[in-house]
Amino acid sequence: MPNTLSQDYKRTCVWKDDLFAGKVVFVTGGAGSICRVQTEAMVLLGADAVIVGRNGDKAAAAAREVAELRPGAKVLSFAVDVRDINTILEAVKQTVESLGRIDYVIAGAAGNFLAPITGLSANAFKTVIDIDLNGSFNTAKATLPELLKTKGSVVFVSATLHYRGLPFQAHPAAAKAGVDSLMKTIAVEFGPLGIRSNALAPGPIEGTEGMSRLGKGSEHNRQRSYEMIPLGRYGTTQEIADGTVYLFSPAAHYVTGQVLVVDGGQWQTTSPRMDAYPSVMLELAKQPNKI
């Protein structure tokens, strides 16, 4: 089971227990560790939820577990490929039929892996763009008609990868740059209609899928990565939850078109992946190019 929240969250957080009572949150990527924690926080604070993902069994299992966090919580799941807007539209239709509304949307379906451009095929690059960027657009496009009815809010799950040139991350960095731009356009176009649009950019969060895939290394490297974070540690899932709750809460009613970075200040220091620069890049340049 991923690193998740517990009912203790309501005791330790600063938010009212029933902050989102009567509301519904629609989450793409909700079975993944970051988006699952976001969903858990919303459910613990009173919302009903819909978890969608390409793996229907995984989404259903996550929905059952999240529903157990709060008595009476309704948490649905649907098998959806965010690259196909028709599958999202069908999930939105069934959500409204079952739960009556959509107040909040978390667009978080994503893919990532480490690869230099020379080792990254055109198809692999396209796949990440399709999931991260096109999937975010499809999610917003399919849910905005319902958000217009509820004067709702959308939060995109972004990243800090594109704030500077970062080796081995050309594909997700390009995708997340597009996500941030999309988020701002929605904020401007739909703000006059009562919809807020923001993004949350997590940094290194302990116990998440991203850290297990991208943060492998020795204990020495782990300690070195701590040193590169101004706050001196990895983040917690509760800190991601709190950032998400803030963006959806009345406390952020005058906040739109913004990226909330939750990374302990990491992006403003030199990336650990740059330690071997430029020697590692010169070595990679000798390898065959993947087309």
CATH number of the domain bearing residue 119: 3.40.50.720
159 occurs within a structural domain: yes
Does residue 270 contact residue 276 with C-beta atoms inside 8 Å?
no
148 occurs within a structural domain: yes
Residue range 34-41: average pLDDT?
Answer: 96
Residue range 220-228: average pLDDT?
Answer: 71
Does residue 203 contact residue 266 with C-beta atoms inside 8 Å?
yes
Local structure of residue 56 (DSSP, 8 states): H
> Is residue 242 over pLDDT 90?
yes
Mean pLDDT of the chain: 91
11 occurs within a structural domain: no
pLDDT of residue 212: 59
Residue 254, domain extent: 16-284
pLDDT of residue 10: 81
8 occurs within a structural domain: no
- 227-229-231-236 Cα dihedral, nearest 10 degrees: -110
Does residue 31 contact residue 55 with C-beta atoms inside 8 Å?
yes
Q: Could you give the CA distance from residue 156 to residue 4 in angstroms, rounded to a whole number? A: 20
182 occurs within a structural domain: yes
Q: Could you give the CA distance from residue 143 to residue 273 in angstroms, rounded to a whole number? A: 37
The better pLDDT of the pair 114, 221 is held by 114
pLDDT of residue 13: 84
158 catalytic, yes or no? yes
Of 36-45, 144-153, 229-238, 263-272, the range with the lowest mean pLDDT is 263-272
82 occurs within a structural domain: yes
Q: Is the pTM of this model over 0.75?
A: yes
212 catalytic, yes or no? no
215 occurs within a structural domain: yes
Residue range 18-22: average pLDDT?
Answer: 97
Count CB neighbours of 190 within 10 A. 19
Does residue 61 contact residue 36 with C-beta atoms inside 8 Å?
no
Residue range 150-154: average pLDDT?
Answer: 98
Report CA Rg, the chain.
Answer: 19
Please state the domain count of the chain.
1
Provide the percentage of residues in the chain whose pLDDT is more than 70.
91
Residue of 33, 136, 158, 271 marked catalytic: 158
Of 104-113, 184-193, 225-234, the range with the lowest mean pLDDT is 225-234
23 occurs within a structural domain: yes
pLDDT of residue 1: 43
Residue of 10, 23, 33, 176 marked catalytic: 176
Q: 3-class SS at 286?
A: coil
CA atoms within 13 A on the CB side of 85: 11
